[in-house]
Amino acid sequence: MSQNKRETAYRPYISAEQTQPELTVASVIIGILLAVVFGAANAYLGLRVGMTVSASIPAAVISMVIMRVILRRSSLLESNMVQTIGSAGEALAGGSIFTLPVFFLWQTEGLVDTPNLFTLSILAVSGGVIGVLVMIPLRRTLIEKEHGTLPYPEGTACAEVLLAGEKAGSGSRQIFAGLGIAALCKFLTDGLKLIPNAISVRIEALKTHFAAEVYPALIGVGYICGPKVSAQMLAGGLLGWFVLIPILVFFGGNTVIFPATESISALYASGGADEIWSNYVRYIGAGMIAAGGFFSLIRSLPSIVSSFSAAFKGMRRGGKTDAKRTEQDLNLKLALGIIAALLVVLVVLPWVPIPLPGALLILLFGVFFGAVTARIVGIVGSSNTPVSGMTIATMLLTALIFQAIGIIGAAGMISSISVGTVACIIMSIAGDTSQDLKTGFLLGATPKKQQIGEIIGVVVSAAAIGGVLILLNSAWGFGSKELSAPQATLMKMLVEGVMSGNLPWTLILIGVFLAVTVQVLGISVLPVAIGLYLPLELSTTVMLGGIVRWVVDRRNKKNGNKDEGGILFCSGMVAGEGLVGILLAVLAVSGLGGKIDLSSLWTSGPAGGVILLLLLAAAVMKSGIAKRK
């Protein structure tokens, strides 16, 4: 009952009775350009450092500037369409870099022929389009019915950014103040490198360290998500770095445990706690995420089944609907037909190494983890969603099933990576689509047109991503110092481990039973699992944002006010860091990144990072505490 009240009580900025231009020639062209640029830049960034930056908010900022300021177009929904199409490029790139580079790594070993553009693109297109279509029956449940439950921080931030261009006054000032401050901080840390982007304190007594990243966007995410979710993420990080790592180092000693090839003591001596986390704790985190995703799906199953049931009933009525403009989706019968056709194409085409069982696994894991991803991004945002963890689970299960049915050796490994590629992109695009649909829900966009726009962005980005990967591999080679491709290297090792019967199942199962323990305690598993899987320095800074939100809420409640600027300011901070992140990626690709590095001349040291974090927290607090009336 309460869900229905939330659903009917909310009125978007533009009502269903109003109409504005949305899917126009201008919005499509500009959105396509942004999709290609964001996709290429994020592919490089992810392959180099193992992380990407969400492009939804940067795309919203750029679309607002281009459409409202430069082109003088007054349609808010047209600007929203630009960011919908543009953000698809980053999401598709984020899914592709986890798996597709494995083909290039195997090429150097003589296991496969040189990957061709068509094969790479068809895998990306299939995963991207299915990812969009999977969200059709889930949209009403996750976006509308759970409007008061799932914050969708980046989707909400996009709406605030776009509305800032619609409204004059303090709201836009708060957003652009946050944008400017975060952009400056990002440029100082990752561009000029005058201030370290992370601070760390080694705790020798526990054989670990405490760390925090000096990134404004993480504070913004923590503030938007709130103290509870932030605390659960930090709990996962503390579990990994202050419980599991000390246990491994103290009791492991000179033992060599797969997947590492050196003893635990040697790993700690060479790389500290980071090496222990990378070789062991990440696998435990992957197991916990897989189990947490399962628990999340079980809890959501009634509402998901209800959504699918309602969608199928509409399909049986022949697709006819009298739904309001803001409730219209693409025809589900058409969507199912497209999904079936894509799966057939993947099986039939000789250039795509996916057997019939693989297509069925894509459908199973794609829908399963696509739904889970769409829910996770509603909690912690796209940038902090552990898609790689769920891809690990998909890859492991796929390789085990292939091995059981006799698809083994090189054929089994190649097919497993291909299935994992499509499933990974489905997850990534499902998460991005859900964020964009949340933005549209808040603004009053037409879901059907957004879904079409998302598909356009996916298809164009998929056609470009293959060429980008071939170009980058030709320039430096994956696995090199310039392009370490950490996730792809991990996926390669996992698949080879399954096929050779040498995989750290003990670590994965420890993660599964940690998830069971947390679930029994009545704590939400996924935020804890995310904190365990991601580096501690991310969760620490997110928690700082959560603490600021707690202080601001208490202060405002005491004064009888509500937060009027904190969310806007944090939305701007996420946008500012994202924009400069894209800029720095482009500079790196062009070879200019090293020329602006001034760290050899002067650097502030850790003290500068601490001061910058405190200043950012103070700025967020000041923006969030409302003035007394």
Give per-residue pLDDT as tens, 511-528: 999 999 999 999 988 889
Would you say residue 575 has pLDDT above 80?
A: no
More confident residue, 337 or 384: 337
Q: Is residue 23 part of a domain?
A: yes
* CA 436 to each of CA 2, 198, 251, 380, 428: distance values in angstroms, whole numbers, following the listed order: 25, 30, 47, 15, 13
Residue 61 lies in a domain: yes
For the record, the structure tokens of 582 come out as: 């894209």
Q: Tell me which residue range forms the domain holding 155.
A: 2-624
- Residue 7, pLDDT score: 43
Residue of 61 and 135 predicted with greater confidence = 135
CB 91 within 8 A of CB 191: no
**What are 87-119's pLDDT values in tens digits?**
998 889 888 988 999 999 999 888 888 888 999
Split into its structural domains, the chain has a count of 1
What is the reported pLDDT for 453? 97
Query: How much is the pLDDT for 424?
Result: 93
Is residue 461 in some structural domain? yes
User: For residue 536, how far is the Cα from the chain centroid?
Assistant: 17
Q: Are the C-beta atoms of residues 174 and 572 closer than 8 Å to each other?
A: yes
Task: Give the pLDDT band (50/70/90) at residue 416.
Answer: very high
Residue 327 burial by CB count (10 A; 0-12/13-18/19+): exposed, middle or buried?
Answer: middle
Q: Is residue 440 a part of any domain in this protein?
A: yes
pLDDT digits (tens, 9 = 90+) for 187-196: 999 889 999 9
Task: Supply the pTM of this predicted model.
Answer: 0.76
Which pLDDT band holds residue 318 (cuts at 50, 70, 90)? very low
- HEC states along 162-217? HHHHHCCCHHHHHHHHHHHHHHHHHHHHHHCCCCCCEEEEEEHHHCEEEEEECCHH
pLDDT (0 to 100) of residue 257: 87
How confident is residue 502, by pLDDT bands cut at 50, 70 and 90?
confident
pLDDT, average across residues 142-168: 82
Please report whether residue 306 resides in a domain.
yes
- In residues, how long is the chain? 629
Cis peptide before 355 (omega within 30 of 0): no
Task: Determine, yes or no, domain membership for 162.
Answer: yes
For residue 577, the model assigns a pLDDT of 81
Kindly report which listed range (42-51, 187-196, 407-416, 454-463) carries the lowest average pLDDT score.
42-51
Ranking 68-77, 129-138, 535-544 by mean pLDDT, the lowest is 68-77
pLDDT score, position 2:
40
Give 330-363 pLDDT, tens digit per residue: 998 899 999 999 999 999 988 888 999 999 999 9
pLDDT at 392: 81
Confidence at residue 335, expressed as pLDDT on a 0 to 100 scale = 93
Q: Which residues pair with 213 in a beta bridge?
A: 198
Closest of 607, 603, 626 to residue 615, by C-alpha: 607
Give the pLDDT confidence of 446-494 residue by residue, as tens digits. 999 999 999 999 999 998 898 889 888 887 788 876 677 877 887 887 8
pLDDT at position 4 is: 44
pLDDT of residue 317: 54
Residue 629 domain-assigned?
no
Looking at residue 112, its pLDDT comes to: 83
pLDDT the model gives residue 321? 53
